[in-house]
A and B are shown apart, each in its own frame.
Chain A
Amino acid sequence: MTTASAAVDTEQLARQLFEEMERLGKSSETFARLASRRLSVQIGQTPRTTIWALNKMRLYHYHPQTLPEQRKPVPLLLVFALINRPEIFDLCPGNSFVEYMLRQGYEVYLLDWGRPGLEDAEFDFEDYALNFLPRAVRALQRHTGKREFSLLGWCIGATLCTIYAAMRPNDGLRNLVLLTAPLDFANKGAGPFNRWLNTEYYNVDELVRQYGNVPGEIIDYGSKMLKPVENFVTNYLKLWDNLDNQAIVESWLAMNTWVTDLVDFPGAAFRQWVVEFFRENKLIEGRLMMEGRPVDMGQIRASVLNVIADKDHIVPNCQSTTAMDRFGTRDKLLLEMKGGHIGLMVGSGASKRTWPQIDAWLARRSG
């Protein structure tokens, strides 16, 4: 097997062994601190003020980082999914979309849905999109003193924003940015979630009846099972390989802190998500009834930026792209970026590619 060029150099081998042992020593120390939970990072550190609260929901206003004359006149409201925490928008300094947009001169607001209790189990998409979101918008408008605003929704947050934009086209919404938006579930073979939730064995009614809200652990297990080896094995091996690299460890820890901070999915909303969205595909077909009328995406008048990720394994691209024909506005753009469902907005790739693209699109429409 060995060739002349690959002859054993005992000196080099010994040096490598020494370096490896040195690395192992450092890694073990970091590992011990990690395992004993003495190593932690705080996520969502950008200074903010709560300007509105209702039940568990909070609307945060991030403190501007630019001079008043440099700020964009149209404020930006961020809306995340009903599962997991919205701090992913503001993971850590240097890796924060919120921080980036503040530096670009936006007035940034974040709607936090909170952690639903059993008393919130009856809330469905209509409640979130057409009762709570408009109230948060009203609070934002009161705070800014302006009527126009931009809305950025991510994942299920994008679905909620789409419903809101379709049902409240005259509320002052100027720009709608959708990130990995699950809107069209016609392709039943697209992605494991579609297959799992469409089987008759998946008894969503009994799940919701027993638990009230679907535990975050079940949602998390489902998400991780989409890529089991990556999530249960490779993720930790990569950490082990880089335990001597402080920056990588902190970055991993920040992401892990967010991933493991689980939020229950409100029962009625989850049932509706499975039955009316995944199984019956009512939204895109204009059959989703809310407030006694169908949600018509053709009513969306705001400019739309629809961002998809080429390696998104949670929301397959076909769930977002086909919606482009349904938006009523003529100013709409489909933007395909490199990355996965979360990597699209987090990490160095996001700060170099996705964020500047969103800013460039929004800036032209926020004057």
Chain B
Amino acid sequence: MSQNPPDGFDPNDPLGTWRSIRDANLDAWARGMTAMVNTESFAKAIGMQLDTILAASAPIQKAVHQYMESYLAQVNMPSRNEVVSLAARLTNIELRLDDMQSQLDELLTAVRAIQLAPPPVAELPAPTDAPAAPPAAAPRRTRKARTADQQ
């Protein structure tokens, strides 16, 4: 694209000149509009516009809502509120599960730390004539056995 002469018009590049004029106009328009939306009057206008839309839609929404509620009840279908309520309960369950998973992870970490820790020094058994038996694995204590011990 050729350079425009200082007076802004290049007869050899009419499209370039047109684009320059267009962009200059758009810039001016953009500056004006940006300044306008940043005024108190515009803020009030946009607020009133929203308020009007909400005021007009409220009774319609209410009527549609009531109609749908009764229609869905008649055809044995859950209403939107019931589905939303169910979804909210599922979210609560998910939160509980997330907490439980975290607690489980903490427990597993603690158990692994205990397993990795060096065993406590035990008292040496009294010498006997019998051959030394290999060390037996610690018995797994079931919940029931532990309960019995505690009793």
Q: Which residues of A contact B (CB under 8 A)?
A: 1-3, 5-9, 12-13, 16, 20, 54-55, 117-120, 122, 131, 135, 138, 142, 191-192, 195-196, 198-203, 206-207, 210, 225-230, 233-234, 237, 241, 313
User: Interface residues of A: mostly helix, strand, loop or mixed?
Assistant: helix
**B142 within 8 Å of A by Cβ?**
no
Interface segment, one of B35-43, B118-126, B129-137? B35-43
Partner of A8, one of B7, B11, B26, B58: B11
Q: With A and B bound together, what is the CA distance between A1 and B9 in angstroms? A: 8
Please tell me which one of the listed residues A7, A8, A119, A195 contacts residue B40 in the complex, with CB atoms under 8 A apart.
Answer: A195
Question: Within the complex, what minimum Cβ distance (angstroms) separates A51 from chain B?
Answer: 12
Q: B70 within 8 Å of A by Cβ?
A: no
Which chain A residues lie closer than 8 Å to B5 at the CB level? 3, 5-6
Q: How many A-B residue pairs have CB under 8 A?
A: 117
Q: Is B67 an interface residue (CB 8 A)?
A: no
Decide if A201 touches B26 in the complex (CB within 8 Å): no
* Cα–Cα distance between A200 and B98 once the two chains are bound (Å): 42
Known: A5-B5, A135-B98, A201-B48. A196 touches B43 (CB 8 A): yes
With a cutoff of 8 Å between Cβ atoms, the chain A residues found around residue B102 in the complex are 135, 138, 142
A64 to B9, CA, bound (A): 55
Chain A residues lying within 8 Å of B33, measured Cβ to Cβ, are 227-229
Contact of B43 among A3, A122, A192, A229 (CB under 8 A): A192
Q: Which residues of A contact B10 (CB under 8 A)?
A: 6
Known pairs A192-B43, A233-B26; A201 contacts B51 (CB<8 A): yes
Contact A119 B91 (CB under 8 A): yes
Distance in Å: Cβ of B97 to nearest Cβ of chain A: 9
Does B77 make an interface contact (CB < 8 A)?
no
Given A192-B38, A199-B43, A237-B26, A54 contacting B94 (CB threshold 8 A): yes
Residues of A within 8 A of B105 (CB): 142
CB distance from A367 to the nearest CB of B (A): 26
B47 at the interface (CB under 8 A from A): yes
In the bound assembly, the distance between CA atoms of A225 and B49 in angstroms comes to: 14
Majority SS at the chain B contact face: helix
User: Once the chains are docked, how many angstroms separate the CA of A313 from the CA of B31?
Assistant: 13
Bound-complex Cα distance A229 to B35 (A): 11
CB of A267 to closest CB in B, whole Å: 12
How far is B95's CA from A119's CA once the two chains are assembled, in angstroms?
Answer: 14
* A234 to B, closest residue via Cβ: B26
A-B pairs with lowest CB-CB distance, top 7:
A201-B47, A119-B87, A229-B30, A195-B43, A202-B47, A119-B88, A199-B47
**Is B68 part of the contact surface with A, judged by Cβ < 8 Å?**
no
B residues less than 8 Å from A230 (CB atoms): 30
Closest to A189 in B: B38
Cα–Cα, bound, A229→B37 (Å): 11
Interface status of B20 (Cβ within 8 A of chain A): no
Contact: B37 with A16, CB < 8 Å?
no
Cβ B7 vs Cβ A1 within 8 A: yes
- Contact, CB under 8 Å: B98 / A54: yes
Measured between alpha carbons, how far is A365 from B49 in the docked complex, in Å? 49
Q: Decide: A203 and B50 in contact? CB cutoff 8 A.
A: yes
A118–B79 CA distance with the chains assembled, in angstroms: 13
C-alpha gap A243/B136 in the complex (Å): 79
